[in-house]
Amino acid sequence: MSKIHVSTTVNGDAVDYLCDPRETLLDCLRDRLNLTGAKEGCGTGDCGACSVTVDGRLVCSCLMLGVEAEGKKIETVEGMADGDVLHPLQKKFIEHAALQCGICTPGVLVAAKALLEKNPDPTEEETRYWLAGNLCRCTGYDKIIRAVMDTAAEMREAS
Amino acid sequence: MALDDRKSEFKFVGTRPDRPDGLDKVTGRAKFGADAHAPGMLHGAILRSPHAHARIVRIDTSRAEALKDVKAVVTRADFSDKVAFKPGLKGEFWNVLENVMAGEKALYDGHAVAAVAATSALAARDALKLIEVEYEVLPHVTDVDKAMQPDAPVIREGAADYSVPEGMHPNVVRYHESGHGDVEAGFAEADLVIEDHFVTEATHQGYIEPHACLATLGNDGKGELWCCTQGHWIVQKTCAALLGIETSQLRVTASEIGGGFGGKTTVFIEPVALALSRKANRPVKLVMSRSEVFRATGPTASASMDVRIGMKKDGTITAAQGVFRLQGGAFPGAPGDMTAMCAFAPYHLTNVRQVGYDVMTNRPKQAAYRAPGAPMGAFAVESVIDELCNKLGLDPIDVRLKNAAHEGTKASYGPRYERIGLVETLEAAKAHPHYSAPLKPGQGRGISCGFWFNHGGETSVSLALSEDGSAQVMVGTPDIGGSRASMALMAAEVLGIPYENIRVTVADTATLGYNDVSHGSRVTYASGLATIKAARNAVEKLCERAAAKWGIPVDAVKWENGCAVPSGPNAGDFDPMPLAEITASMGRTGGPISGHFEATPEGAGVSFGTHIVDAEVDRETGRTTITRYTVIQDAGKAIHPAYVEGQYQGGAAQGIGWALNEEYIYGEDGRLQNSIFLDYRIPVASDLPMIDTVIVEVPNPGHPFGVRGVGETGIVPPLAAIANAVSNAAGLRMRQLPMSPPRVLAALKGNG
């Protein structure tokens, strides 16, 4: 099958790739652009490990085709830190031990960042429902929820 | 120098520093199984049986092989030009080979029958569709009780070992019986005897990272393998045997691992990727889909159990007896013995008898899942104890305290306990505000204890000091939940240098001696002990260098706060000599300084926990909500308390899933019906409350700092604790898991 040329923006950089029309955005990020931060945990949109934002909207990149990224702005976990300055969520996740194995962490961080951009003062319940699409099998979510709430509080104070 | 003095005061141990691999894991930089890439790499894919039990009559791979993009195809019968797998294997290696690639028969839905390597993942998947397999479908069985019936289809003749009594069905492959005292006499002394039947379904470990590997194997018999595994030496040994190469010629590197919980302690795709690579002469990457993970890797055993317990009016247990039948899929290995041995282990019993069966069915081979076998038995036993407490009007914690095992108790499975912490967890539970908090209408509270053996295992650690006074520690146990941090804390404690000055690396099989798998809650215990002893070994050498410089005997030098210090008659003669000063000149004073440990630590120290759960049952829908959860467990000594809490919370969350939702559902056709996360529903953030933890510390005499493993015990109490909470909320006894809404609703309507 012939490949399709896609021009898009990932973490602020203009990028091009050739892909099979059957490849997902996740396949293209990982295999075409070597951005392996987003993970494939299920391939069916159930686990959220592949979470990215597309034009600011949180999506499972395994549910979107690579060709659909044409002209869009994609943000992945690799773009979260500002140079060597970590995003407050990244710092808090380390501080709170909110990760054990770390495989779900990129997706959780991308989803949590999207939450805080939409709602800087989420309740515990709102945080739990927003992150319900991100499966974590190690932590029981306790420390993840605390890290997100703590980040939100700190970011509110800073702003 | 008194190196073996047990420490009770710590400078680093017990603090909560950032984990050394934190930055990599929050930035997406950490490389997991599927994140590797090699020049010229091919992509593999595996064809799997759609049948639960079928003879493989013929496999025709010619159409797939004819594709330009396809570079290799392998099957078990692949003798065309090169042998894919070593012929003539016996014993456990044969079992593993039979599981990773079917021989004469496909034994379960999802059993691998052929594999291809092609230039892209899509091309590999397309090629699978061109492989023709002719099956002769055979009768199948997936239920443990049915598999033991005389008319059940035989999975494999001759699979049973010596332990199985005469006259049992060939599907019963191992038998365990143990205990002490006279149970019938004990039951006669009881004021109340309750006997009940309990059932649990198979659940999957549900690690978020599917199995993945990148394999290179040349015709020179030398190979490189990158994979996500809980233990790369067992992968090395197994793959080398299956491929017929020398163990040392295969270098295995463990990637970062995206969860395991016991499910990544064996091999599934690695030998297949190596076989494809050898045939294609190119690196081959193989990644499982989620559906493949569910269908063809190890879930837990399912269980059918009968438990009988006698109790006096004052709460004394007079006798306990259990029969535990575990279904472990199409291969021997279901932990019926473990279930039996753990079931009554928390109690000081005069009369106890337990029987365990390992039963084969047409399902994927079970794998370890956190304290394998123990949660099921605890569910049955702790449910009966709860029922006895209810009927006799006794407090469930008081009854457990009255019967609790302690130092010197003859365990239900044989040995006498050394110092253990069960009583302390029960006392902490009783004192916890959760236990006295009022319940709302519709809510119930459940209590359960749990036990796990813990494990030592073969362990190697090397610690090398650098000229600038920093240290690198090489361990062989993959870091599943923050163990690099724990190792660095223990090394810092012994060396007396800052935590940040220590780098812990998970070494590959070519750079360190053999290490057992990250299982059995052994990492902080065994690799920790090895790290401490390797660091002490280095400290001895540091003291020797200082003694030589000062011209005093080495036994007049002690190690304090990261410095060699003259002691005894020489005390105060010289200024303390810091580690960095000694290492700066080590090249001229005798050469590099390293510490080593290679042994099999035997003092793992058994572990106990007590859980308190509140559950609310919606009588209209049958849905259960966990409203409050407290885990109390003995850690011996918590090295990094945040990651100890994480183990407790994670174990509880998995237990909640097992108790309320998760199950392998098989159709009449023997096919797994829920092989994606949408249908196999693990707990999500909105399902759970915060999970409170209490770390009890009753030091383990078998570890220099008192550590007991904490990884597994946390999943033992939840099934029973939640079942007790739901039963108390619903006003009826739930004897089958999961307590899914339809099952609870049926019970409430009297159809349970």
pLDDT tens for A72-119 read: 999 999 999 999 999 999 999 999 999 999 999 999 999 999 999 999
Domain boundaries, given as residue ranges, for chain A: 4-79, 88-158
**A4-79 and A88-158, same CATH topology:** no
Domain boundaries, given as residue ranges, for chain B: 22-30+456-599, 37-139+206-296, 417-450+606-748
pLDDT at A1: 61
pLDDT at B751: 66
The proportion of chain B whose per-residue pLDDT surpasses 70, expressed as a percent, equals 98
pLDDT digit string (tens) for B164-207? 999 999 999 999 999 999 999 999 999 999 999 999 999 999 99
| Chain A partners within 8 Å of B26 (Cβ) | 77, 86, 90, 93-94, 99, 102, 105-106, 109
Which pTM does this prediction carry?
0.97
Q: How far is CA A102 from CA B3, B475, B714, in A?
A: 36, 19, 20
> What homologous superfamily is domain B37-139+206-296 in, according to CATH?
Aldehyde oxidase/xanthine dehydrogenase, a/b hammerhead (3.90.1170.50)
| Contact residues for B151 (Cβ-Cβ < 8 A; gap 6+) | none
Q: Does domain A4-79 have CATH number 3.90.180.10?
A: no
pLDDT at B87: 83
For an interface test with A, the pick among B16, B21, B23, B26 (most A C-beta atoms closer than 10 Å) comes out as B26
Q: Which two tokens stand for residue B81?
A: 């030009």
Q: What is the CATH number of domain B417-450+606-748?
A: 3.30.365.10
Measured between CB atoms, which of B29, B209, B290 is closest to A43? B290
pLDDT digit string (tens) for B572-583? 999 999 999 999
CA–chain centroid gap for B517, Å, is: 9
Burial of residue A125, with CB atoms counted within 10 A of its CB: 0-12 exposed, 13-18 middle, 19 or more buried? exposed
Which of B371, A136, B319 minimizes the C-alpha distance to B379? B371
**B37-139+206-296 and B417-450+606-748, same CATH topology:** no
Classify domain B22-30+456-599 at the CATH class level: alpha beta
For an interface test with A, the pick among B684, B691, B693, B712 (most A C-beta atoms closer than 10 Å) comes out as B684
Which stretches of chain B drop beneath a pLDDT of 70?
1-8, 78-83, 751-752
pLDDT at B81: 42
Q: Is there a contact between A100 and B18 if contact means CB atoms under 8 Å apart?
A: no
Classify domain A88-158 at the CATH class level: mainly alpha
DSSP B356-421: EEEE--SSPPP---SSTTHHHHHHHHHHHHHHHHHHHT--HHHHHHHHB--TT-B-TTSSBP-S--
What is the distance in angstroms between the Cα of B662 and the nearest Cα belonging to chain A? 13
pLDDT at B8: 65
Is the distance from CB of B194 to CB of B306 less than 8 angstroms? Answer: no
